[in-house]
Amino acid sequence: MVVTIVASSCGDPALDRAVAEADKAVARAEAAGDGTQQALALRGRAEIHALRGELDLARHDLDALPELRGFVPNAIHDAEDLRVVAMVRAAEGDLMSAERALRDVIQRAEVHRQPQLQAHATRDLATVLRRAGQNAEATAQIDPPSEWFLLFRPMKARLQHPPPTRSIA
């Protein structure tokens, strides 16, 4: 499975540019002494490394995150980090672990009302499920409209098909 990811991304000019830009972002954040910005840049670079199949580099960047953030817990940052950890696990071929982690991220994103994180994790989960041969479940992850989906539909569509009302009685 790792071979598939590496073969499809080796020498990809877009990923080469992305990692170069991520390197610059990390350097700028380090120079500014901004640990939060540095953690964000490292997580982004770890994701790119995972896509390129550079799993040791991805793990190295992920391992640096807790030290940069200190001891202040942040459930959203933790969930975003876990999504990238799941990508590394999937690249390693541990699809079951990646699936569990992504389902956890989706749940956390729902609780903390983070629709973009939920969308990213759902996309990643669908990819993992397809790789595991669970095509029907992968499609089901994408198809059901949620309350978040209803919020982000264009206004015209919301007026034509309003969400169901809930009775408090």
- Tell me the domain boundaries of the chain: 1-72, 73-158
Tokens describing residue 97: 């672990």
pLDDT category at 10 given cuts 50, 70, 90 is: low
Burial string for 54-91 (b: 16+ CB within 10 Å, else e) reads: bbebbbebbebbeebbeeeeeeebebbbbbbbbbbbbb
pTM of this structure: 0.74
Question: Using CA atoms, how far apart are residues 108 and 119, in angstroms rounded to an integer?
Answer: 12
Tell me which fold the domain 73-158 belongs to: 1.25.40
- Dihedral in degrees, nearest 10, Cα atoms 74, 110, 121, 146: -160
8 has pLDDT over 60? no
Alpha helices in the chain (DSSP H): 2-9, 13-32, 35-52, 55-69, 75-92, 95-111, 115-131, 135-142, 147-152, 155-160
Question: Using CA atoms, how far apart are residues 131 and 97, in angstroms rounded to an integer?
Answer: 13
pLDDT, one tens digit per residue, over 26-71 is 999 999 998 889 999 999 999 999 999 999 999 999 999 988 887 7
pLDDT, one tens digit per residue, over 94-142 is 999 999 999 999 999 999 999 999 999 999 999 999 888 877 776 766 6
